[in-house]
Each structure stands twice: as C-alpha cells, then as structure tokens.
C-alpha cells in the first residue's frame, strides 16, 4: 500500500508550519462537527473516567490539543471529583488554540495552561515547568506527522514525563474506510498495530497495551521508565 504523505510531512519540505495551520484553521468548524458526529468527546470521557490517569494533584499535558475537546473532558472529570490538578495543552493551529482558550476560560476551578507549539520541537519549545508530568495525552494528532517522525516524537513526549508517568495516545488505524475518509480527506497517515508497536520501541518508554478505540483508531498506553 502506498503511504500517504501527510501535510506535516510536506511541511518539512517547505520549512514552515503555515500549510498545517492554514489547512486546519480553514476547517475548524467542519472538524468540530465531525468529532461531534462520531461521539469523540463522549468516548474520551468514558475512557478517562474509567482509567487511572486523572487523580488528585495530577499534572496532564494534551499534546496537539486542537479545539480543546480532550482538555475539556479532563477538566470536567477534575471538577466533578473535586481534585486539585494542573492541565496543559499546546497546538500548532492558532484558530484551534483560540477555541481551546475560550473553552478553558469557561472552567475556572483549575489552572489550564495553553501555548502554541510544534510537537516535533518538544521538550525544548515548552517552559521548563511543563516537565515531570503525570501524563501526556494526545488524541487524533500524531497521524499528521510523517510516518518516519512518529517514533522520535513519541520519545520526545516521553521526556516530559516523570518516572512512572503515562503516555496515552489515540491514533488512526489502517482500514478501507479510514483510507478513504481520514487518509484522502484529512491527509492523515494510518497505522497497523505492528507499526504502532514498533514506534513505541523507545528507550524511555514501556508499552503497556494497545486496544481498539471506536471504529477509527487505537488507544495506546505506555509508561515512562
């Protein structure tokens, strides 16, 4: 099968992030409708409510937070459980980040720190305080890297974790429908389970498990050594 060349991969050839930002900035409303239609937010809520990642005094970063859907889920769990927490997020697309900032402003019980950044430039592009985290999460973003960039980027995200901290990603899996929809329309790279396992073969990470997530992806959970 011919590998899709993602817009992030083409961005590497052009030398700037403008193509990525323009692509998603122009499609923010469509993106929001899409994730609502597939029940994306509710699925993420069920996953994190059932898991161990949101707890008292947790510090969690959403890498590629987009419009803030996952951050809002995490913030809602923190509020309902009356935990103390620090939430962080970054994104490459200004319009998406503005929506995330507006969403965070509606919840004032806990701190949400947001900034623009390219995931391939972490941890150096982030403040020193954005380190030693309990968890780094990412939903539907890493497939927009070139396939050769996924493994090193996972290693960089792992550097943001404290020992025993968790890296949790949701990434699009290969399949006929996803090739037509996510691959062609949204320019995403798609992954088999073997490809995901190979990408997580990092010195600082222990892969815990890979499970199907809805009809479109995998939920992948790893722990920092």
The confidence score (pLDDT) of residue 43 equals 94
CA–CA distance, 141 with 157 (Å, rounded to integer): 13
Task: Tell which CATH classification among 3.40.50.2000, 3.40.50.150, 3.30.200.20, 2.40.10.340 matches the domain 7-122+133-224.
Answer: 3.40.50.150
CA–CA distance, 179 with 118 (Å, rounded to integer): 25
Query: In the chain, what are the domain boundaries?
Result: 7-122+133-224
- 89-98: per-residue pLDDT in tens? 999 988 889 9
CB 67 within 8 A of CB 96: yes
CA–CA distance, 171 with 63 (Å, rounded to integer): 13
What are the beta bridge partners of residue 219?
A: 170, 211
Cis-peptide, bond into residue 171, ω within 30° of zero: no
- 154-212: per-residue pLDDT in tens? 999 999 999 999 999 999 999 998 998 888 877 889 999 999 999 999 999 999 999 99
- 115-149: per-residue pLDDT in tens? 999 999 999 999 999 999 999 999 999 998 999 99
Name every residue whose Cβ is closer than 8 Å to that of residue 62 and which is 6 or more positions away in sequence.
Answer: 70, 71, 74, 87, 88, 89, 90, 137, 138, 139
Q: What is the pTM of this model?
A: 0.85
Reduced to 3 states, what is the DSSP secondary structure of residue 165?
A: strand
User: DSSP letters of 74-127?
Assistant: HHHHHHHHT--EEEEEEES-HHHHHHHHHHHHH--SSEEEEEE--GGGTTTTS-
Asked if pLDDT for residue 30 goes beyond 60, the answer is no
Residue at token pair 């900034």: 115
| Residue 95 Cα distances to 61, 92, 145, 159, angstroms | 19, 9, 19, 28
| Residue 220 Cα distances to 78, 87, 153, angstroms | 22, 20, 15
């Amino acid at each position: 099968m011919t590998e899709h060349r993602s817009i992030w991969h083409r961005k590497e050839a052009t030398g700037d992030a403008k193509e990525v930002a323009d692509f998603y900035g122009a499609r923010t409303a469509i993106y929001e409708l899409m994730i609502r239609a597939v029940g994306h937010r509710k699925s993420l809520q069920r996953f994190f409510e059932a898991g161990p990642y949101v707890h008292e005094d947790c510090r969690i970063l959403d890498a590629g937070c987009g419009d803030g859907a996952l951050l809002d889920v995490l913030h809602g769990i923190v509020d309902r459980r009356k935990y103390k927490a620090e939430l962080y997020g970054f994104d490459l697309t200004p319009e998406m980040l503005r929506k995330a900032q507006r969403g965070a402003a509606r919840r004032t019980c806990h701190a949400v720190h947001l900034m623009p950044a390219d995931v391939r430039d972490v941890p150096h592009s982030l403040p020193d305080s954005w380190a030693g985290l309990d968890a780094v999460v990412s939903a539907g973003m890493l497939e927009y890297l070139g396939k050769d960039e996924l493994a090193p980027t996972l290693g960089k995200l792992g550097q943001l974790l404290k020992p025993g901290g968790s890296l949790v990603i949701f990434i699009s899996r290969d399949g006929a429908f996803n090739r037509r929809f996510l691959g062609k329309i949204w320019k995403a790279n798609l992954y088999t389970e073997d490809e995901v396992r190979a990408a997580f073969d990092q010195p600082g990470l222990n892969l815990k498990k890979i499970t199907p997530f809805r009809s479109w992806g995998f939920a992948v959970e790893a722990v920092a050594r």
